[in-house]
Structure 1
Amino acid sequence: MAHDPNHPATASHHDAATATPLVPSTQVSATLLQQCSSLLSEIDELQTLLKGSLRNPQLVEVRQFRSNVNSELKMLQKLEQRMQNNIPASADQTDPELEKRLLHAMRSSNLPFYQAVWNIAKTSCSGLVALGKRFYWEGEVKSCETTRDAGKRKNGSGGWEKQPNKDKRKSVFVDIVAGDGEEWVKVSTISESRLLFDMAKKGWERDSDDDCLSDEVEEPVKRTILRNFDGEDDENDDDDEPELIKLARDLRKAADGTRVRYRHPRLRIILPKIMEGDVPEIDDILKEMRSYGIKVECQGGLSNVSATNLAHLLPQPFKNFTPTLNVDCTLLLAMVSDLSHVKDMPPSPSFHRAIIRQIEVEKEKPLLPTELWAAMGDRELLSTEEAATRMREIVDTIGTKTEQTRMKIMMGHAPYDQLDRESLIQKFAEMSDYPVPKDWKIPLKIVEAQSVIDAAKAQGKLPSVAEKVAEGLSDINHSVFMYGWATGMTTISSNRTIDKQIEMTIENSRQGDDNSEGPFVWICDTARSLVGKDKDRQ
């Protein structure tokens, strides 16, 4: 198996190969094989957890990382076979050169690097998005694209396609994307000796700058700087910079070109083989890395706690929800649709293709038990007058009797308007094949939105770009999304098109304002239509 000489794991193993006394290859092989199999088992455990917990497990990118570890296992197994073939009947017949080569190959394995990435993800990360993802800084990635869509663009059909001709030299590979996309973690297993060698090779030295004099300051201002005497006239020459400095700068450039929910990702570099405070030259490198706004963690500051439960790695999309949720019309309809409550609904020739597809998706992962009720939890629920009125018009016009009854219960309409919450939930549960959470906050509260929006504008609670955002919204969408923005409330919806439209408008109107943010919107990846009356289907 070929190894990348610039790979941090490979670089560090050159030090290990020379510093560690040789041990019999059988012992090294057995240890590595056991560790690699154990790592694969834990990754498989995470994938099983993802499949059992998420509507779409592929949203968490783990497959490529697992494939890399599996390839490492196969390489170790081949080395094991060669080692077994080198064990003769008599120890005197052992080929010492072959033994030496096999030991070197095993000690050059990338497994310790994969173990480091996995252990750091387990012990210091939550809300996993990817184990390994490349990000580019050629052109800014808008917040509407997020980490999942980075490096892609919209095609003519409104879907995403990979952008051609991406220059890998203008990219950085992030080892862990966590915090539901808001944190990037890079792991480097470079050793102190390798880092010092890299600095010496690139001509980087410590230098005390005594000439920083100011006309207004009597005493010289001394500062320690890193200087490359061979290439100080060419600031763009990456070949003259230590590996870790280039890594920090590339991470910053990629993060500055990416937004997740209107913000740039937080950056963290972890150096498990570097001890801070031991070598001044290395401390200078760490200081330079932190100057890019990156959190740098070294050996002494890492957690030694072993995580036995992987549940914290699951995406946590609801963690920042406000105590009250603003529910869009699209989800109001989904919550009363027969499609969301009837298990194994038989398809009918009169069904639209979209409804047939929703029935298929519902069989795989029921929307309410696996997503919507989890999103709402025990939070207060409200809807704007415009959204509630539109939902009522649609259900009254084309909804089935059961869909109309569910709407009346959920919204607290007559004849259910005198019932308390527990009674409403009991009535609603009688019309669903799924258990209804006892802490579900029904009936929904209906609010008047426009006066709240106007007051927020008058009080300066909305940025100037809000006017431009509002221009592109229909009356219903204006009431829903602008109300959520004006109140700082989480809006939940399945209207991804409008959400992306709002984000794009804000991104295109920044004009240097790096802090501009729009409404906090959570998008449910799948919608539910009403089944509708037979006459309406025809």
Structure 2
Amino acid sequence: MPTPHSPELEGRIATALKEAGVLERKITKLLEEYYRFETLWKSRTRGVVTGLKTLRQTVNGEAATLRPLLGRLRRLSSEGAEELGSEQAEFVQRICTFLQCSNVPSQETSWEIVKRCHGLHRLATHFSRHYSVGGGSACLLCNPASGTGILQARKCPPIGHQARRQANKEVVWVDAVVDDGKTWLRIVSVSEKSLLFDMAAGGWDWDAGDDHKEEGRSGDENEVRLLEGTLDQGDEDDDDGISLVVMVRRLVEAARANRHQNRIPRLHIVLPRITESSNPEIARLIRQIRGMGRCRGRNGAGTAEVEIIVSCANSPFLTASCPPVADALANLLPKKLANLTSTVNLDCTVLIALVSDICHMPRQVAASKVAFQKYASQQLLEELTDGSSLVAHLYPALRSRRLVCTPTAAAQFWEIIDTIASPTEATRAAAILPRSPGQGRADPVVELQRLSEHVVDSGLKLPIEVAGPPEGTEERFNVQRLVERGLLPTVAAKVASSPEISELNRGIVFYGWVQGITTVTCNNTLAKQLMRLVDECRTADEEAGPNVWVHPVTRALLTKGKRGPKDEKSL
């Protein structure tokens, strides 16, 4: 530590002041961009950015610590050397330590890397390595005996001493989930020197280069085989080995256990401080890591392939210039319409939303001062406060697409309309879905616009077509025959037999599944049930469920008074 009254101490103060100013500017820039992105996200999605609050709290915490330290440091800088004593010297040492240990530079680097991505799903999140947590879970990691890739009902091991949270090594950290949920981004700031030391401590075979390939095997095949040996070595403690390899192995296990829309996410490992071509041993390790998704994990847990991308400092991902802030933040907005097909299958909840007075004329309804049911009042308040859900979400999803529904969905829709709809809702219903061919209006969009406070999208292809099997039959698909013909995956038979899915919803969803088109619904519970059933019942890793797109808000007809038993029928 420098002695008081020394030029060295004054130099330390000047250096600390400069570094603290740099950190302050980094904090200001990060918080501004976080706020800007959060505002943009809310304006487009009406939701929150999962994980952003955690990142913002971390930066705010460091800002709260830095402000008084920086103020005192500036006062010391303005004092003469004769005023400086041992207490000030100790303070300078403390602030230098704080500046060296700050997480803000690392968080800034991570945010700059995230801004190169598209379709953000969530930030700063954890995933379990186990399929699920709690009694009755089906976990391959805890049931390696089958080795079939088929989930078996077996409880995960105890999570500590009756603790509800999983042990640290049973979960993995992911910096961001991007590509609308398809990719996990993991940023590792290890340096080349640290990685080489870790490789030596972890038992890296420095001699297993190109001269040690097995006869008859390609270089990549041999390296994957060598890495399998690395994965399988060790005892009960799976922390043994090279830290980077252990981390990727756990990420692979977690990716297999946490599918997105029934599909395993890919892993994107970013090493911003590693240049892949600078060291042949590091390059060999990275090649092996790229093949880890094809290996069986330790103890045989998981056999499904996981795609692994590794980007180093000299990769195109990092060497390409980062987009301007406005473009980068816009790119991070979710691209929720990417998977919609050119023809979409509408269920009853969407048909109701398309004709509801709550959606089309909220100001007029509110001005009437009529007392409505609690759920209708809440939906009306949302439309008045947040703006039109049709304009923001549903119209863009349906624009320029062929709109169809099943006969049973149409029949159920008209039963509801005849029972509880207002006159304006019934008029809209006749415009978008005529009771029989030839009864519709000449221009349904013009008719909707006449009865709406909002601009109706001119790209809507109305009226909706009634397609599919004859009325009353689509809920009784011969699923087994469709599976045998290859029109449905094997898992569809088990999904069809589940009592969780109503006959009406089963018919609507299976029509879209067989036709290979997107089913559009407001029923988020139904979508989650389908994904869970497919995950639990699949017979092969590649099996996926129906393509379902969920309109993010639920809207009802403007019903006054108490609903009757018929009106309470589940959709």
Q: Is TM-score (shorter-chain normalized) higher than 0.5?
A: yes
Equivalent in the alignment of 1:497: 525
From 25, 43, 57, give the equivalent of 1:67: 57
Of the structure 1 ranges 282-291 and 204-213, higher mean CA displacement relative to structure 2 is found in 204-213
Q: TM-score, normalised by structure 1?
A: 0.82
SS, match of residue 319 in structure 1: coil
CA RMSD in angstroms comes to 3.5
Choose 354-363 or 133-142, whichever is displaced more.
133-142
Tell me the distance in 2 between the aligned counterparts of 1:185 and 1:267.
Answer: 6
1:516 aligns with 2:543: yes
Q: Provide the rounded CA distance (Å) in 1 between the counterparts of 2:167 and 2:237.
A: 17
**One-letter amino acid of the structure 1 residue matched with residue 398 of structure 2:** M
2:345 maps to which residue?
326
1:351 alignment counterpart: 372
Unmatched segments (≥5 aa) in structure 2: 1-11, 138-162, 294-307
Q: Which amino acid aligns with 2:557?
A: L
Letter of the 2:130 counterpart:
E
Q: Give me the whole-angstrom Cα distance separating, in 1, the residues matched to 2:59 and 2:214.
A: 55
Alignment of 1:245-394 (within 5 A): 245-293=245-293, 294-301=308-315, 302=318, 303-309=320-326, 310-344=329-363, 345-346=365-366, 351-365=372-386, 366-394=388-416
> Closer, same or farther in 2 for the Cα pair 1:445/1:232, shift >3 Å?
closer
Gap runs ≥5 in structure 1: 1-20, 146-162
Greater shift, 521-530 or 248-257, is seen at 521-530
Find the counterpart in structure 1 of residue 158 from structure 2.
none
Distance 2:432 2:29 in 1: 49
Aligned partners of 1:238 and 1:246 also within 8 Å = yes
Letter in 2 for 1:186: R
Matched with 1:16 is none
Contact 1:204–1:226 (CA under 8 A) maintained in structure 2: no
Distance change (3 Å), C-alpha of 1:88 and 1:336 = closer
Preserved CA contact (<8 Å) 2:203 2:242 = no
Give the aligned residue type for 1:373. Y
Aligned to 1:15: none
- Amino acid in structure 2 at the alignment position of 1:439: G
**What residue number does 1:466 align with?**
492
Pairing partner for 2:128 from 125, 136, 148: 136
Kept in 2: contact 1:324–1:489 (CA 8 A) = yes
Q: 1:104 to 1:66 in 2, by over 3 A?
A: same
1:263, distance to aligned residue in structure 2 (A): 0.7
Q: Deviations over 1:344-399 (max 9, x none)?
A: 33387753322222222222333212221122122111111111111012102221
TM norm structure 2: 0.77
Code of the residue aligned with 1:311 in structure 2: it is A
Q: 1:120 to 1:259 in 2, by over 3 A?
A: same
SS of residue paired to 1:390: helix
Give the residue type in structure 2 aligned to 1:433.
Answer: E
Aligned to 2:148: none
**Residues in 2 aligned to 1:397 and 1:363: alpha-carbon distance in whole angstroms:** 26
- What one-letter code is carried by the residue in structure 1 that aligns with 2:36? E
Distance in 2 between residues matched to 1:230 and 1:258, nearest whole Å: 24
| Letter paired with 1:351 | F
Shift of 1:226: 7.5
Alpha carbons 1:338, 1:530 under 8 Å: kept:
yes
Q: 2: distance between equivalents of 1:97 and 1:458?
A: 78
1:96 Cα offset (Å): 6.3
Deviates more, 1:68-77 or 1:517-526: 68-77
* 1:87 match: secondary structure: helix
2:242 corresponds in structure 1 to 242
Once residues 232 and 397 of structure 1 are traced to their aligned partners in structure 2, the CA distance between those partners, rounded to angstroms, is 65
Structure 1 residue corresponding to 2:454, chosen from 431, 434, 443: 434
Is this contact kept in 2: 1:141–1:257, CA < 8 A?
Answer: no
Cα offsets for 1:472-500 (capped at 9, x unmatched): 44443233101100011000012233333
